[in-house]
Structure 1
Amino acid sequence: MKLIRNLAAAAAVVSTVAFTLVSAPAWAATTTIHRDNAAGAAYSGKVRATLIAPVQVSTSLGTGTCNTGNIDGTVQSNGTGLNVSVFSFSNVPGPACPNSAGGSSTVSAVSLPWNGGNVTYGPVSGGRDGTLTISNVRVSAVTTGWFGTITCTYRGSGAGDSIVMDGFNSDNPNRPLPSIAQAQARATNYSLVKTGGSFLCPGSATFSATFQILGETTANSGVYNQKLHVTS
């Protein structure tokens, strides 16, 4: 009988511990966007991602390259509500962007604004400080080359039709362009999925680009000169 009582008591302890582990809330990382540096005030408002290296969109038909452009949007200081209102790329001289098929490519945003994106703090040793997700991405590409002129439409391949980029703080030595002391974001061969267009359109494309990211020192000024920094 004593053995049975001891076994019952042990089972009760194990059950209590198991219940505690299951019912305890999982730890979740937080995100805060600051002005200037990790000690700066929280920042909510308009943001602009400006190309600092050419953007390339590649398919089986060739690669189109643009050397200027920006993505404009707004974000909350906790990284939520990244809503994109401008997605524009061109070439100087241009405005059409040359491609490797001997022609040109023009990429236009479809169905702006693209709402529901986020900035998420999640450092990787020797790499990024977090991610920047643009949701509901839809683009139309008009491409000329040896095949004539075709129009294709694509969407982001991530959850919620998103594009996910690696994010880097201005003091991260592993940021894509160390000579530029600003927050940066980089997409490398991120997949886009065909949603419509000519039968000649490839079923997928890849998107590569590097940006610097700034906010506004004075809200709604249209002047993007505020350094940003992301922490937990």
Structure 2
Amino acid sequence: MKHFRNVAAAVAAAALAFTFVPTSAWAATTTVHRDNAAGAPYSGKVRSTLIAPVSITTSLGTATCNVGQIDGTVQSNGTALNVTAYNFSNNPGPQCPNSAGGSSTVTAVGLPWTGGNVTYGAVSGGRDGTLTLSNVKVSSVTTGWFGTINCTYRGSGAGNSITLDAFNSDNPNRPVTTIAQAQAKATSYTLNKDGGSFLCPGTATFSATFQLLGETVAGSGVYNQKLHLTS
């Protein structure tokens, strides 16, 4: 009987402990919505469009482009963020000027880049989540005082990824407050050399700010759907 009472007490204690596990101990969830936090879940195509110049900096100088977009698709739970197009240029251009007295072009390698994600994770006074692009690889052709060099770089995170901070359209801390759209920002994110000339620096840093939009009508090619990220 004593043994039975001990077992019963242990079961009761385990049940009580289970009851009071704080919700924060559970894995956080992510939902991409249409319009706002009360909107329907959104799955489909997304477009990231530059709203501030992108810069890529190495020990040889800094190249800047003022026109650019990244196209892809995502599921409403933030998974399967896959990049299908990556285009940057400059106006006037189309090549992007650099501080070495020449120009630079950057081209995506190995599209589509699959396996990325959008993850909710609000930070007080800061971002609402993160946007991770996986399998990132780009090639560049750069001219300057050193001549012309060809280099290849990849993301420095797990799975050759890069991660940007994500902001909702109503977040007062979003990078460009005059634009009421979801936004993503990378600040001096490291890219690692993957190949190319011995003159290519071992690392480059990537900085850019984008607005994020989906399609109101799936398959229309018109990106006018406001997006919102929650848990």
TM-score (norm 2): 0.91
C-alpha distance in 2 between matches for 1:177 and 1:139: 27
| SS in structure 1 at match of 2:39 | coil
C-alpha distance in 1 between matches for 2:126 and 2:195: 36
Q: Deviations over 1:155-186 (max 9, x none)?
A: 00011100100000000000000000000000
C-alpha distance in 1 between matches for 2:104 and 2:151: 11
Aligned residues between the structures: 223
The 5 A counterparts of 1:153-172 are: 153-172=152-171
Q: Does 1:200 align with 2:211?
A: no
The 5 A counterparts of 1:91-102 are: 91-102=90-101
**Residue identity in the other structure for 2:47:** R
**What is residue 44 of structure 1 aligned with on the other side?**
43
Q: Which runs of 5+ in 1 are unaligned?
A: none
Identity %: 77
**What is residue 133 of structure 2 aligned with on the other side?**
134
Quote the offset at 1:144 in angstroms. Answer: 0.3
Quote the offset at 1:133 in angstroms. Answer: 0.3
Q: Does 1:120 align with 2:119?
A: yes
**What is residue 219 of structure 1 aligned with on the other side?**
218
Quote the offset at 1:128 in angstroms. Answer: 0.1
C-alpha distance in 2 between matches for 1:114 and 1:195: 16
C-alpha distance in 1 between matches for 2:135 and 2:111: 9
Deviating 4+ runs (over 2 angstroms): none
Quote the offset at 1:78 in angstroms. Answer: 0.3
Q: Which runs of 5+ in 2 are unaligned?
A: none
C-alpha distance in 1 between matches for 2:48 and 2:34: 16
**What is residue 54 of structure 1 aligned with on the other side?**
53
**Residue identity in the other structure for 2:214:** G
C-alpha distance in 1 between matches for 2:163 and 2:172: 21
The 5 A counterparts of 1:29-40 are: 29-40=28-39
| SS in structure 2 at match of 1:111 | coil
C-alpha distance in 1 between matches for 2:178 and 2:28: 30
**Residue identity in the other structure for 1:144:** T
C-alpha distance in 2 between matches for 1:157 and 1:87: 18
Quote the offset at 1:200 in angstroms. Answer: 0.2
C-alpha distance in 1 between matches for 2:82 and 2:102: 33
**What is residue 64 of structure 2 aligned with on the other side?**
65
TM-score (norm 1): 0.91
